[in-house]
Amino acid sequence: MASNEGLMADPYSSPAAPPPTLPSSANPAATVQIARPSASQPDFLFPESDYDQTFRRSWGERLTYHAGTAYLIGLTGGGIVGLGQGLRESQGERRRIRINSVLNATGRRGPLWGNSLGCVAMMGSIFESIAYNVRGEDDIFNAVGAGAVTGALYKITAGPRVAGTFALGLGAVAAAGSLVSKALA
């Protein structure tokens, strides 16, 4: 009876209880004790006692995350816009023509928006890493400056007025994104 309770007992229920035992496969009469974690050890996969509040991912990790996330958002947004455009343009057509029109519009808009947003995110991430390395601080001004430089550089061929508008807009978006990510963290 005692060995049966040992097999079915919860090893974490009471630290005063003896450790459960299992029958050995080589000798069924012998038993093997199961190691129990000590009460002083945390019950985590990785200990977090050395967690550093100032930890910052490398520029490559940040670049990959920002570009991938922006591409996915652009691909999804462009696909939704392409879906709407394909449905509007093929109104009154046969079913096969409508399906073809929706697929063409979705396949044209989604990757275009995804690539554009991915490039903007890549430039912003690079400029933010440069600002961090030059200034030595990780604050909102890095993100705002990187967004402004990215917006200006992305639309510089359209003229100074458009480039300035994009610089202000992307700087504001970067500030909002930085504030939201800090609030969620």
- How would DSSP label each residue in 2-27? HHHHHHHS-TTS-TTSPPPEEE-SS-
- Reported confidence tier of residue 154, pLDDT bands at 50, 70, 90: very high
- Reported confidence tier of residue 132, pLDDT bands at 50, 70, 90: very high
Determine the distance from the C-alpha atom of residue 54 to the mean position of all C-alpha atoms in its chain, rounded to a whole number: 19
Q: Is 101 helix (H, G, I), strand (E, B) or coil?
A: helix
| Domain chopping of the chain, boundaries | 62-118, 139-185
Distance CA 129, CA 136 (A): 10
Least-confidence region, from 28-32, 98-102, 149-153, 157-161 = 28-32
CA pseudo-torsion sign 159, 160, 161, 162: positive
Q: Dmax over Cα atoms in the chain, in whole Å?
A: 86
- Can you give the pLDDT at residue 77? 96
- How would DSSP label each residue in 149-182? HHHHHHTGGG-HHHHHHHHHHHHHHHHHHHHHHH
Least-confidence region, from 41-50, 118-127, 156-165, 170-179 = 41-50
Which value, to the nearest 10 degrees, does the dihedral of the CA atoms of residues 66, 67, 71, 73 take? 10
Question: How large is the average pLDDT for residues 127-135?
Answer: 92
Give the gyration radius of the chain's Cα atoms.
29
> pLDDT by residue (tens digit) across 12-33?
655 555 555 656 566 656 665 5
Closest by Cα among 50, 51, 67, 69 to 59: 67
DSSP assigned state of 51: -
Question: How large is the average pLDDT for residues 156-178?
Answer: 93
DSSP assigned state of 40: T
